[in-house]
Amino acid sequence: MRSEGYGAVADGQETTSKRHDSVRLAVIVGALGVVFGDIGTSPIYTLQTVFSPDDPHPVPVSSANVYGVVSLIFWSVMIIVTVTYILLALRIDNEGEGGIMALIALLKRQAASPGRRTAALLAAVGIFGASLFFGDSMITPAISVLSAVEGLKIVEPSMDSFVVPITAVIIVVLFLVQRRGTAAVGRVFGPVMIAWFLAIGGLGVVGIADHPQILKALSPTYAIGFLTGHFGIAFFALAAIVLAVTGAEALYADMGHFGRRSITRGWLFLVLPACTLSYLGQGALILADQSNVSSPFFLLAPEWARLPLVLLATAATVIASQAVITGAYSVASQAGQLGYLPRLRIAHTSESSIGQIYVPWINWLLLVSVLTLVFAFRSSAALAYAFGMAVTGTITITTLLSLYVARKRWGAPLWAIGAAATVLLAVDLLFVGANLTKLVHGAWLPLAIALTAFTLMTTWQRGRQVVTAERERLEGSLQEFVEEIRNGGAPTQLVPGTAVFLNRGKTTAPLAMRANVEHNSVRHEHVIIMSIETEPVPRVPEHERIVIDDLGYANDGIFHVIARYGYMETPDIPAALRMLDPETTEGQLNLDDASYFLSKIELRPGGAGTMAPWRKRLFMATTHATADAADYFGLPRTRTVIMGSRIEV
């Protein structure tokens, strides 16, 4: 019996282990289909761009330069992606969530501790980094899909005029399917990316076999020698070499979708080896014949395989676009929760993973922006100079913030942080400097996008502060208002039922409640004044969700409820109210027939010098993007009353 029981337990454990292994494998495959598309398709255009004769600072094609460039690409990938992101940034999560907005949330939490000025300053720098990421999200789909479709010109030169229209159609279809969700997209794209990495790795091996001397480029001496011995050439080459690390920020931003372990394993065991083999194989091809520099990625394939490779590359670059699109959803959602953007409508697309979301407003904004870039620039080469600026700026800011948070969170020795900062930031700033030389050749574009987004986010944050202050003045003290009702200063008729008034806190009285008492002279038997608090963590446990305050009186039917949510969660007011214990709510609540009251604020520009006039107009224009409050908080439409008020900013 013991042996049978042990066998049954062992079989059960084995089955559970296999199930967990399959789940982990499925997550890794899903991550391959969403996270690694951008960085995994960089081999298509990186070497080609480095040696492009159209570059304003071209790199001469020579054996020494090929070895130096390939070595510099490999070690740039190792330092920026493997060290900065995989080994450092992915370990600095905010309860499982990553990305630059997660770092900003950690900084805001630290702003209340000593050194708060530094944390606040770095948070502002982080907002600019998030703004650069929005630029990256617009440029990546355009340059990635264009670079793949341009492979048609290698197969059939007469197809040149069809490149832009085909690219536009592919991009439109990509954005139309976003509403299906990250999980669905990842399941379809994952196997495609596995085939992609196996294909580019295999083609790289073929190229290496023809010229195995290229393996010497794995030595850092070639990268260092190229930088020190030919700095005038190497420095300008960095503006194109940075294309090899595009998508690094997407790895971090999408961590909440798939987890650190899945991303790390996918990178170390498949993506990094495949990309390295591809770069080495392309370098070997150029060494064999310098004319191959025109399109080393596609020419690495035999003639019969080039059309299938173009089709596979097109599919892979669509996936590359997916990586930054999902990253943009995450950044926009988190920015909204932290008060830097309006409350946007967010659709959760997975019942099993709360991190998988779809943000319609961001989706359509990106679609219009990407199509505009495709028709304006019309080639991947023209977009390459713009691409690098967005990438290097975001990477540098992420490195800076990660090192600061690592120092505060882990208590790492100052000398260790200083040494890491010296090496990592020196590399990042070299890339930034190189891309600044391309300012007039397109690098201005992501800076302009970032400056626009930064202005929008900081204006929204400041506008919210102004409106909140004025609203608190109009609302008056909640405690005094409750005292007035109890003492008969505001005569009211008590009516049966439950009324829920949404408010920003418990210090002031809701405008809708004031209007109900002062103009209608009625109040409900049970009055819930409810506030939503967004914590600087991704999610709040259910047992910490609700905080109740009787406002000093335990028998008047008026009490305050705080519902606490993480910045990755969407508030659901009716669900939160169902968690209330009747013993703490001054009687049994009739939530099935409860009425919900919202205070709608009409904004008008005023004469106060709270903001510049143009920023006031921008703030008021931005309010139109705000999601409907009833829908956002999950309120039943038929039982929601909206009462208006006017505030000048």
pLDDT digits (tens, 9 = 90+) for 189-237: 778 889 999 999 999 999 999 999 999 999 999 999 999 988 989 999 9
- Residue 520, sorted as left (phi over 0), alpha (psi -120 to 50) or beta, turns out to be alpha
**CB of 83 closer than 8 Å to CB of 272:** no
209 and 141 both lie in a single domain: yes
The stretch 596-623 carries a mean pLDDT of 82
> Which residue do the tokens 């930034």 mark?
432
Q: Which residues are within 8 A (CB) of 87 and not within 5 positions of it... i.e. 6 or more apart?
A: none
**9, part of any domain:** no
Whole-number pLDDT of residue 204: 96
pTM of this structure: 0.75
**3, part of any domain:** no
**468, part of any domain:** no
- pLDDT-derived band at 22 (thresholds 50, 70, 90) equals very low
340 and 284 both lie in a single domain: yes
Q: Convert the pLDDT of each residue in 542-589 to its tens digit.
A: 888 999 888 877 777 888 899 998 866 778 889 898 888 877 777 778
Give the H or E element holding residue 194: helix 182-210
324 and 176 both lie in a single domain: yes
The Cα-based distances of 107 to 92, 95, 408 in angstroms read: 12, 14, 10
Q: Convert the pLDDT of each residue in 85-118 to its tens digit.
A: 999 988 888 777 778 888 888 887 776 555 577 7
* pLDDT reading at 79 higher than 80: yes
Three-point CA angle 184, 187, 192, nearest 5°:
130
d(CA 381, CA 41): 15
Number of Cβ atoms within 10 Å of the Cβ of 401: 24
* pLDDT reading at 330 higher than 80: no
**434, part of any domain:** yes
Q: Which residues are within 8 A (CB) of 106 and not within 5 positions of it... i.e. 6 or more apart?
A: 92, 94, 405, 409, 536
- Secondary structure of 603-647 as H, E, C letters: EECCCCCCCCHHHHHHHHHHHHHCCCHHHHCCCCHHHEEEEEEEE
**307, part of any domain:** yes
Q: Which of 419, 440, 462 represents a domain boundary (last residue)?
A: 462
Q: Which of 462, 485, 508 represents a domain boundary (last residue)?
A: 462
- What is the three-class DSSP state of 288? helix
Q: Which residues pair with 322 in a beta bridge?
A: none
457 and 482 both lie in a single domain: no
Residue 639: domain span: 476-648
Give the H or E element holding residue 298: helix 296-299
CATH number (domain holding residue 160): 1.20.1740.10
The Cα-based distances of 631 to 332, 337, 637 in angstroms read: 18, 16, 8
105 and 133 both lie in a single domain: yes
Whole-number pLDDT of residue 593: 86
d(CA 40, CA 317): 9
- What is the three-class DSSP state of 494? strand
- Residue 259, sorted as left (phi over 0), alpha (psi -120 to 50) or beta, turns out to be left
Please tell me the total count of domains within the chain: 2
d(CA 475, CA 362): 34
99 and 20 both lie in a single domain: yes
50 and 184 both lie in a single domain: yes
491 and 452 both lie in a single domain: no
The stretch 340-351 carries a mean pLDDT of 72
Whole-number pLDDT of residue 15: 37
Better pLDDT: 187 or 332: 332
**CB of 199 closer than 8 Å to CB of 397:** no
Q: Helices marked H in 541-595 — which ranges? A: 573-577
**592, part of any domain:** yes
- What is the three-class DSSP state of 350? coil
**6, part of any domain:** no
d(CA 217, CA 427): 19
**407, part of any domain:** yes
Q: Which of 433, 462, 491 represents a domain boundary (last residue)?
A: 462
- pLDDT-derived band at 352 (thresholds 50, 70, 90) equals very low
The stretch 335-359 carries a mean pLDDT of 70
440 and 544 both lie in a single domain: no
- pLDDT-derived band at 133 (thresholds 50, 70, 90) equals confident
Q: Helices marked H in 150-181 — which ranges? A: 152-155, 163-176
512 and 387 both lie in a single domain: no
104 and 245 both lie in a single domain: yes
Whole-number pLDDT of residue 296: 92
d(CA 629, CA 344): 10
* pLDDT reading at 11 higher than 80: no
Phi, psi of 603 (to 5 degrees): -100, 140
498 and 390 both lie in a single domain: no
- What is the three-class DSSP state of 74? helix
